[in-house]
Amino acid sequence: MKRFLGAAVLAAAFIACNSSETKTGDASADSASTSANVVVDSTPATPPPVQYAEGDITKKDDGKVYVYTNGNWVAADKEIKLDNGTVIKPNGEVKNKEGKTVTLGDGEYVNRSGNFFDKTGAAVSNAWDKTKEGVSDAATATKGGVEKAADATKTGVEKGIDATKNAAHKTGEAVDKGVDATKDAAHKTGDAIKKGAKKIGEKTKDVINDIKN
């Protein structure tokens, strides 16, 4: 009887071990299967379309200004005055009551209250800063142009001075050579006169001697 009970206990233990291993193996397989089926979508999310409101004004890539009217964009053929006094011209130029002027970029738009938005629909808080940036860029460009002009003038003056000095030096050399040539010619003329006078004197003596004889 004891042997029978011992055999039964061993058999039960063996069955329990096999059952545990089977469950562990199944769990591992299920986990591996679940991991293998995970897919990561790296496609960037498409931004939602811009929700335009009645009266929005935009500038398209053809350079014209359009007004959103009854769900459609209608080309503007005259100036548009917004609620805050800002005026938009058909060429995209925007001017506020203070006289500041900016130009709409392609796809940018302004609502009836005078608020600016980019082509994605995001609000632009520093739209009028473009005026300051434009003035700053113009001032920088003007300063650079003046500096370049001054440098060019200075270089031109220096070259002119050098050319004048060079010409004066050459003129001085030419004058010196002319003086030397004049002296040499005068010296040769003097020698010739002396020789001529000597010959005349000798001839005169010969004539006088002939007359005496």
What does DSSP assign to residue 123? E
119 and 153 inside one domain? no
Token pair, residue 197, equals 């006078």
153 and 121 part of one domain: no
Q: What per-residue confidence (pLDDT) applies to 73?
A: 94
Residues of the chain with pLDDT under 50: 1-2, 6, 9, 17, 21, 23, 29, 31-32, 132-139
pLDDT tens, residue by residue, 55-87: 999 999 999 999 999 999 999 999 999 999 999
The Cα–Cα gap between 92 and 106 comes to 9
**pLDDT of the residue at 143:** 60
The token pair at 29 is 């397989």
Q: What is the 3-state secondary structure (H, E, C) of 57-119?
A: EEECCCCCEEEEECCEEEECCCCEECCCCCEECCCCEEECCCCCEEECCCCCEECCCCCEECC
Relative to beta strand 116-117, strand 87-88 is unpaired
Give the pLDDT confidence score for residue 26 in this predicted structure: 53
Distance CA 101, CA 130 (A): 9
Q: Within a domain: residue 29?
A: no
- Asked whether residue 153 falls in the same domain as residue 115, the answer is no
Instruction: Give the domain extent around 99.
Output: 57-127
**Amino acid 79: pLDDT:** 93
Q: Are residues 105 and 161 in the same domain?
A: no
pTM of the complete model: 0.43
